[in-house]
Amino acid sequence: MAGFNAGAASVGVCYGTSGDNLPPASTVVGMLRENGFTVVRLYWPDPAALAALAGTGIKVVVGAPNDVLPALAASESAAAAWVRQNIQAHPLVTFRYVVVGNEVPAGATAHLVPAMENVHAALAAAGLGHVKVTTAISQGTISVHLPPSAGEFTEEARSFMGYVVSFLERTRAPLLANLYPYFVYTLGLGHMDMSFALFTSPGTVVQDGEYGYQNLFDATVDALYTAVAKLGGSRVRVVVSETGWPTAGGAAASVENAMAYNQNLVRHVRKGTPRRPRRVEAYVFAMFNENLKEAGVEQNWGLFYPNMERVYPITFGA
């Protein structure tokens, strides 16, 4: 794999498995190591992936998928069993976060915080209280992106995010958010030039009081910080659990744009945002193009093709 960078990557990567032609997990873990990734996000506790990650020192963000939330919320013993089978069963894996639910739909949010509470208690009882429990929210929960000082959750999101933020503030866990400047730009939500979305604006585009914003990524992260603070989460750190740009299948989706966005992201995250000038923890979506996803852009976010070739040249260390 020519052009890889063996230094430590400044970003993590999302390893999705919605494909019928992907390499085996042991091969993928080798690719993670070759490319300097020190942290990976899994959407479910895939036994093959966890076995391959054991002993590597690569930190793992693992999901408790949406379909298990009702059981985890209803029963402390169910949560204890889930932790036993999926976390304790892998003592050589370095778990970073357990992500209870990913973009949980409105009808299921009543299960969210009870499930988080039960998993948190189960980890603590197992002597794994250092593994933080959180959830991952979608870009769609944010109703106001610009200016960041006016950042706001949607009314629907506020109905459950107050409980989520209270849990995270109490347990000192971060909030994970799947943030995509690509969608804000292509849906026309900000009436902006594409350079603002691709980190290529030559100067400040949005002046927000004392803070100048040169890219949409920073603006979105800081808008989310504002929205979280309004709900009492002044200590809650935002982790960008997915971000990226598609190479095909939709408006503005191209190899050139994807390469620009992701390479600029890698270089940028160390600087932080205007309001929080310290490194942003971010995960590029995704490791592979996944052919079982919905046709269109959804199949075209990968850094690699399933044959392990790079979709475009990029280095992950900044």
Catalytic residues: 103, 242
For Cα atoms 305, 34, 9, give the angle at the middle one, nearest 5 degrees. 95
CA gap 103, 176 in Å, rounded? 10
**Judging by beta carbons within 10 Å of its beta carbon (0-12, 13-18, 19+), is residue 130 exposed, middle or buried?**
exposed
Q: How far apart are CA 280 and CA 267, in angstroms?
A: 11
**Element of type H or E holding 262:** helix 255-268
Spatial distance between the Cα atoms of 83 and 68, rounded to a whole number of angstroms:
12
Q: What is the rounded distance in angstroms from the CA atom of residue 156 to the CA atom of residue 132?
A: 26
| Closest C-alpha to 238, from 185, 140, 189, 165 | 165
The per-residue b/e assignment along 200-217, b for 16 or more CB within 10 angstroms, e otherwise, is: ebeeebbebeebebbbbb
- Name which of 50, 40, 130, 132 is nearest 89 in CA terms: 50
Q: Which residues contact 89 (CB under 8 A, 6 or more apart)?
A: none
Q: For the chain, what is the largest distance between any 2 Cα atoms, rounded to a whole number of angstroms?
A: 55
**Would you call 24 exposed, middle or buried from its count of C-beta atoms within 10 A (0-12, 13-18, 19+)?**
exposed
- Give the integer Cα–Cα distance in Å for 133 and 172: 9
> Coil, strand or helix: which one is 215?
coil
